[in-house]
Amino acid sequence: MERSCDYFDEYNAMNPENKTDRAAWLQGPSAKCSKPGEVDSPWRLVLLGAPGVGKGTQASLLSERLGACHLSTGDVFRAAGGRPDCEQTPAMLAALEHMRHGELVPDSTVWEMVRERNGCLHCGGGFILDGFPRTLSQAEALRQHMANEKLALHAVVNYELPLEEIVARLSGRRTCKQCKAVFHITGQPPKKQGVCDHCGGALFQREDDRPESVQVRMEAYQKSTMPLIEFYSGLGLLMPVEATGTPEEICGRTVKALGVS
Ligand code: AMP
């Protein structure tokens, strides 16, 4: 049965200029994508980098620039976390508990969630994976699945930034409850403290951006995600990009590295 969700309808109504529609990704496979943009050569990218390096912001800028759909696994978990417990599967409830503590969600749960959204991997506009894969086992599952589905990954962008800067970025990050826009208390403050510039929604600090969770997330990154750099380098797909400067500068560097004019 097709599900509907007021939040996503409202979001789409507020952002009519968006070329892509993430409802099917965020809500699950029974939701319909209303804007499956078709482009001649759709980009299929993976974004890597430590938590807080700005992958989400870059994914959203690149999505506008390239027309590819922004697929974030973290956003799926956060969207699920906003729904009542009675609508959750036991696996999702367990996943949300891991997320609250800054721990990685088990590979089997993450892969099941991505696999059932296979339609999004076939999006006519292409896709930008943000926050997935995060372990070697997820990367291998994705590689095999894409090979079976005859889909090619074009590049894996690895955003690089010194550790101290990453921690400062994470602890100052604030997210809009309504439209999910991201601000920073010093780097990119909203015009009015605690209020989103775009939709007037309340800004909050993500539970996993609190200091105790940041520590756990950085450890998980070092242990589980760093090996992906070698994995994708071995496949000849790795593209390092320096993540310093404004979001627009970083995006400019990325499209240049991709060879987009
Ligand atoms: P993110 O917004 O990408 O930082 O993800 C937020 C949280 O969701 C992470 O700290 C994990 O708990 C969980 N998560 C998101 N993507 C994955 C993944 N690919 N593997 C394991 N856990 C994930």
pLDDT in tens, 170-180: 889 899 999 88
The number of angstroms, rounded, from the C-alpha of 13 to the middle of its chain's C-alpha atoms is 21
pLDDT value, residue 150: 95
- Could you tell me the domains of the chain? 9-161+225-242+249-255 (3.40.50.300)
pLDDT value, residue 26: 85
Among this protein's residues, is 55 annotated catalytic?
yes
pLDDT value, residue 242: 96
Q: Which of 26, 53, 57, 77 to mutate to test the pocket of ligand 1 (most atoms within 8 A of CB)?
A: 77
pLDDT value, residue 15: 52
pLDDT value, residue 6: 42
**pLDDT means per 10 residues in the chain (261 residues)?**
39 55 81 70 94 90 92 91 81 89 91 92 92 96 96 96 84 90 90 95 90 84 90 97 93 95 73
pLDDT value, residue 36: 59
| Cβ of 51 less than 6 Å from ligand 1 | yes
| Cβ of 138 less than 6 Å from ligand 1 | yes
User: Under 8 Å CB-to-CB from 52, ≥6 apart: which residues?
Assistant: 166, 167, 169, 170, 173, 209, 214
* CA 78-76-231 angle, 5° bins: 115
pLDDT value, residue 163: 80
| Cβ of 217 less than 6 Å from ligand 1 | yes
pLDDT value, residue 210: 85
> Distance between CA 73 and CA 47 in Å, rounded?
12
Among this protein's residues, is 22 annotated catalytic?
no
What pTM did the predictor assign? 0.82
- Long-range pairs for 144-152 at CB < 8 Å and ≥24 separation? 145/115, 145/118, 145/121, 146/121, 149/118, 149/121, 149/122, 151/44, 151/121, 151/122, 152/44
> Distance between CA 163 and CA 218 in Å, rounded?
9
Pairing of strands 69-72, 155-160: unpaired
pLDDT value, residue 255: 96
pLDDT value, residue 18: 59
